[in-house]
Structure 1
Amino acid sequence: MNSMTNSRMASIGKPLRGFSLIEVIVGMAIGLLCTLVIATVLSSVEGQRRGTTQGSDAQVNGTLALYSVQREVAMAGYGFASEAPAVGCTLQAMYNNAAVTALPPRLAPVMITQGADGRSDTLRVLASSKFIDGNAATRHDIGYTVPTRVLSTYDPNDLGPTRAYQYQVSSLLSIVQGDLMVAVIDAATPCGLFQVTGVQDHATMGRLVLRADDSPKWNAPRHPAQVANNGAFLVNLGRVSDVSFTVDANQRLMRSELNTRSMSRIENAVQSNIVLLKAMYGRDTDGNLTVDTYDYTTPTTNAGWLSVLTVRLVVVARSAQYEKDKVTTKAPQWDVGASASVSGAVACGTSKCVELKVDTQDDWEHYRYQIFDTVIPLRNQRWKAGGS
């Protein structure tokens, strides 16, 4: 019998040993400690991942929200702002024999209503709805619009045998029955809105825009009330593009559009997790065709509206992820630079900043915020006829 066999046989009589209680407890403690470390690391990594993901969501939401507003403002004043006398004129409209309050009070490209206590503003954009890519189903938004000059006197008191008023104009380009047009006399006279009831290219009387009485709709008797002499002009608003943007209590950017067929507004949510929208008029106060002042003051005169060259926008987006700890300790700052005067701006280092109010909810400090801003030229207003 060899030595290995002897060793095995000798070990048969010895008792077998396992782990002692102390060794088991120590092993479990080490295992729990490792589990705790791994869970902490995973939780931290997951938190960072969620923060990065939600930060990306805020980036996308803010970018799309700013683009949606910017796209509308870029077309502000289309169809009328190229004619200086039309900009800012008091808009008179009658529907069902009553003054229309749903339309803006003035024929202005953009109107800003400042939010109370630093809250979101309401930005209202007015333009003609007649675009080249308009809705082919209605045929009212097809084509494009340019102001047309009135060639002979239109007098609302000269009723005639048919009570059908008519404007003799230089061109009928893109004007169709059902279009809403505005008669502009001069910068100081209110401008009246009416609906086209027909067009004629008459052999002896020339090109005519017809407007017959229709009290239940837009053509109340003797409206527009202003006499239009040679030199006045008509602007074609089509169905009217009247769009407003604001932020609601649920942190959504809301878009509202006036439907002139039903005289009601259609409201839709554009983007979620948007907490603030602010807008300012960019003015040229010294006549050098550059913006030197940004403020919230809505003009009241033709000259005041003509000085507005741009709109400055800021959108604040919030991450969707609620953080356990407070991650925002003070209101975000909107850096507006130091080259122009900006309402509400204070010095912040070498620049100037405007504090943005995002504390409308009690838990606002547990979210992260991103700021998106831009300056939008009112190009339709800058392309004025006659270089004015």
Structure 2
Amino acid sequence: MRSPEQGFSLVELMVSIVIGMLALVFALRLMSGSERTQRNGVGSSDAMQNGMLALFSMSGDAAQAGYGLNDPIIAGCDTVFSDARHYALASVTVGGVTLNPLAPVIIEKEVGGASAAPATDGENPDRVNFYAGSSITGTGTMRLLSAYTAGTRIVVDRVPYGFRQGDVIVVAPEQLGGKCALAQISSDPDALAALPAQQSVDVVQNSAYRYNSGALGASFGAGVSRVFNLGPARSLSFHTWSVANGFLQLRSTDMDGAAENPAAVAGDIVSIKAQYGFDNRVGANFTPDAGMQVKVWSSTMINADGDGVTGGAGDTLRIAAVRLAVVARSRTPDAAPAGGNCTATTAPLTVFAGGSAGAAAVPVKVKLGVPGDTVDWRCYRYRVFETIVPLRNFVWRP
């Protein structure tokens, strides 16, 4: 008798191959889904870290804003400013005239710029400026004893105690909203104090004093102008926050190398937005000594004091708080389906959608496209971080 043949038949072999291929397909899909989930999780974690870092940095600046600049004489004054390291003050338009005011916060609106998102899909990022001094004397001042028209010497009415060589000063008229000038003390006030002659401070131009241009650049009357001390130049905190090419950037007077060219602070930041919180109460209802109240949120300056001029010094004095928003995105984009568009984010985001006690919300739609990015903005996932910071230093004005 012949023994039966051993091994697999062709049918059994084909069935085994099919089962193996199905198992391989399921395994690949499981691994792909796991990888996609892990990538989304890591991307969300990166967005959270970068967004929190950006908001923490900006809100810390906002909390310090206005220190040394909270006297009504200084607030909103059009400032003559010169910096050898090329930091520039923010510009605003008041009554058709371009000014460079000193204020705790100045919000500039970015315009233009190519983007992967249509222009109608939201607003460009803002530029947000926070200004603060560091003088421990607070708002200590001296009055001009003699009129100043030109030169490097400022004659004052008392011994300049609390003022030191290298300190940054602001000379301003006592009339609200006048022209003021920022400079740096080049003389030694302690040495001048020992002299029997009239007291003065000098603003001589040389490489040691970056904010001096050889003159103040404006005229100031005797007995009606004051000198304010903002503290040492090394700690003068004039900061400009902006977003470019997906990075949060900072221009700063007190960080080496960042006065003219901004330094990157955090990556994968799509946009920053800011709003002023105004106290626009009128007449006897406006009681700043009893506490400021945010009654209106606005992305731009308004006529908060009711004098008919939008953005004037009186409006600056009505800023009680600032609202900040940071939009961060995942580092790795989601893959688009074959022949289709990404659906990770299907519509632009809206910030400032919620109101606050006593003030209605003013929602703002944010443009999500990053100029130069070849990936559609819809392929990314986004996180929004918001906060409200009271301008405590500005509220505590004399």
User: CA shift at 1:49, angstroms?
Assistant: 1.4
The two structures, once aligned, show a CA RMSD in angstroms of 3.1
8 Å Cα contact 2:47-2:382 kept in structure 1: yes
- Separation in 2, partners of 1:17, 1:263: 81
- The equivalent of 2:260 in structure 1 is 265
Residue 376 of structure 2 is aligned to residue 363 of structure 1: yes
1:120 maps to amino acid: P
- Separation in 1, partners of 2:20, 2:256: 73
- The equivalent of 2:13 in structure 1 is 24
- Structure 2: stretches of 5+ with no match in the other structure: 91-99, 112-118, 302-309, 337-342
- The equivalent of 2:275 in structure 1 is 280
Give the 5 Å matches for 1:28-107: 28-81=17-70, 83-93=71-81, 102-104=88-90, 105-107=100-102
Kindly, what percent of the aligned residue pairs are identical? 27
- Separation in 2, partners of 1:60, 1:206: 59
8 Å Cα contact 1:75-1:127 kept in structure 2: yes
Give the 5 Å matches for 1:106-185: 106-116=101-111, 118-128=123-133, 130=134, 144-150=136-142, 153-156=145-148, 164-169=153-158, 172-173=161-162, 175-185=163-173
Encode CA deviations 1:199-242: one digit per residue, 9 max, x unaligned: 03636869945115548862535755202417834232532322
- The equivalent of 2:385 in structure 1 is 372
User: CA shift at 1:375, angstroms?
Assistant: 0.8
Which stretches of structure 1, 4 residues or more, deviate above 4 A after TM superposition?
203-209, 221-224, 259-264
8 Å Cα contact 2:182-2:216 kept in structure 1: no
- Separation in 2, partners of 1:193, 1:176: 15
- The equivalent of 2:339 in structure 1 is none
Highest CA radius of gyration, 1 or 2? 1
Give the TM-score taking structure 1 as reference length.
0.78
- Separation in 2, partners of 1:332, 1:242: 30
- Separation in 2, partners of 1:234, 1:251: 39
Flag the 1:320–1:40 CA change in 2: closer, same or farther, 3 A.
Answer: same
- The equivalent of 1:211 in structure 2 is 202
- Separation in 2, partners of 1:335, 1:261: 34
8 Å Cα contact 2:144-2:227 kept in structure 1: no
- Separation in 2, partners of 1:177, 1:261: 21
- Separation in 2, partners of 1:193, 1:35: 73
8 Å Cα contact 2:148-2:219 kept in structure 1: yes
Encode CA deviations 1:278-303: one digit per residue, 9 max, x unaligned: 11111111136210111122363221
- Structure 1: stretches of 5+ with no match in the other structure: 1-9, 131-142, 346-353
- The equivalent of 2:340 in structure 1 is none
8 Å Cα contact 2:144-2:154 kept in structure 1: no
- Separation in 1, partners of 2:391, 2:361: 18
Give the TM-score taking structure 2 as reference length.
0.77
- Separation in 2, partners of 1:280, 1:225: 34
User: CA shift at 1:165, angstroms?
Assistant: 3.4
Does 1 or 2 have the higher relative contact order (CA < 8 Å, sep 6+)?
2
8 Å Cα contact 1:171-1:207 kept in structure 2: no
User: CA shift at 1:342, angstroms?
Assistant: 4.0
8 Å Cα contact 2:105-2:129 kept in structure 1: yes
- Aligned residue for 2:271, secondary structure, equals strand
8 Å Cα contact 2:80-2:216 kept in structure 1: no
The structure with the largest strand share of the pair is 1
